[in-house]
Amino acid sequence: MQRRGAISYDSSDQTALYIRMLGSCVIFKQLSARDVRVRSRAGFETERRGSHPYIDFRIFHSNSEIEVSVSARNVRRLLSFQRYLRSSRFFRGITVPNSSNILDDDYNGQAKCMLEKVGNWNFDIFLFDRLTNGNSLVSLTFHLFNLHGLIEHFQLDTMKLRRFLVMVQEDYHSQNPYHNAVHAADVTQAMHCYLKEPKLSESLTPWDVLLSLIAAATHDLDHPGVNQPFLIKTNHYLATLYKNTSVLENHHWRSAVGLLRESGLFAHMSLENRQLMESQIGDLILATDISQQNEYLSMFRSHLDRGDLCLENANHRHFILQMALKCADICNPCRTWELSKQWSEKVTEEFFHQGDIEKKYHLGVSPLCDRQTETIANIQIGFMTYLVEPLFGEWARFSNTRLSQTMLGHLGLNKASWKGVQREQSGSGDDVDPTFEEMDSDILPQEPRLS
């Protein structure tokens, strides 16, 4: 069988020459191997720009040479940072008494007002993104670092922190309807809400909070807008690299580590602490692999049944943070209808776009991706029934607070709303997408984040 997609290298000069997709030879861009992956002194390989996670669908339309400039993305990132340098009095050399005052110069009044309520569950991340001119992830995460006292506690250089966050935001693909920087900001805001819950706030260390916010902000870093089965059936470089296992999550993690090292944000820490941080961030991000949902949920349920969770135990705290990030990642059905509906439409648009490509090039349409046979309502009801309700039911057992009851309340109302839409469309409210009954990674898309 002919390989349908791969990156080829010249072994003599270690230069990436071209990418083959679906049997067609397409010239991609000459890239130095050091742009593909960087090995640290400890032997840990990070993913960097140039590792080609991005699926440029133009390659399906022409056999002519296509230039996809990685350097252009670097320039955009640099210009974003330069814009920040020009706009901020802080970086023009004017002394600021404390880091929180940076916000005074960089946010307009409405955005600053919103940040004062960043712990509210009805926080409108779409409005905040508009108020910050598309910089919601940078603005919100920087604010949370300051709010939690992480800048002072870890003696972070605010310029390096800002640079790191700008790089993270730039490495999300704005053309993705769902898996973009706004989703990352939304997940980070949800994670902040969970960190404030009494059981967690009383037990977590600054280290735990630091890991949680970084993992939330980077959990879908450099997402290509297609799921794991698509990468596997097109023999994508990343699928080969990670042996078809948690392909996207591994890439998000390694990309995050690459940006942490590039920014030098924690260069003042010992090598041992930096390596521990990288490993634990990986544990958190890898937990968002939806194909591992049953495994994590079973462990969570068993702990709750036995009543043996002890948050004084660092391992137990880390496990709870994994569960918190899983909740934050798929919490959209637990938001208000106005917010939840927008997320539902966006993720379905992304799924259907993948399905259109698969159909056009006879790749076999992935489940949930066929716009001719699927509807938003059916997908959402199945998602809520088989994934969201079980997870948030157990979370409410762990943390039975007003927030948990609010989330379950929104979940019930949103499911009822989608059932109403479903009845209007089909005349029956009993059609639930059976896809979600199977938790096989070959069947269920790896990264549904369906609402």
Q: Where is the binding site for Zn(2+), in residues?
A: 183, 219-220, 329
Please report which residue ranges of 51-176 form alpha helices under DSSP H: 70-87, 102-106, 109-115, 125-131, 136-147, 150-153, 158-170
Q: Does the active-site annotation cover 179?
A: yes
- Cβ-based neighbour number of residue 44 at 10 Å: 15
The three-class DSSP label of residue 78 is helix
The three-class DSSP label of residue 355 is helix
Active-site hit among 179, 192, 303, 353: 179
Pair type for strands 24-32 and 37-39: unpaired
| Single-letter code of the amino acid located at 90 | F
The phi-psi region of residue 209 (left if phi > 0; otherwise alpha if psi is between -120 and 50; otherwise beta) is alpha
CA-based nearest residue to 331, from 288, 371, 269:
288
Cα gap 48→262, rounded to integer Å: 10
The three-class DSSP label of residue 259 is helix
Cα gap 375→258, rounded to integer Å: 38
Q: Where is the binding site, in residues?
A: 179-183, 219-220, 329, 380
Q: Which residue has the tokens 């600021």?
A: 96
Task: Answer for the pair 135, 169: CB distance below 8 angstroms, yes or no.
Answer: yes
Q: Where is the binding site for AMP, in residues?
A: 179-183, 220, 329, 380
Alpha carbon distances (Å) from 384 to 45, 189, 374: 37, 21, 16
Cα gap 217→224, rounded to integer Å: 16
The residues annotated with a catalytic role in the active site are 179
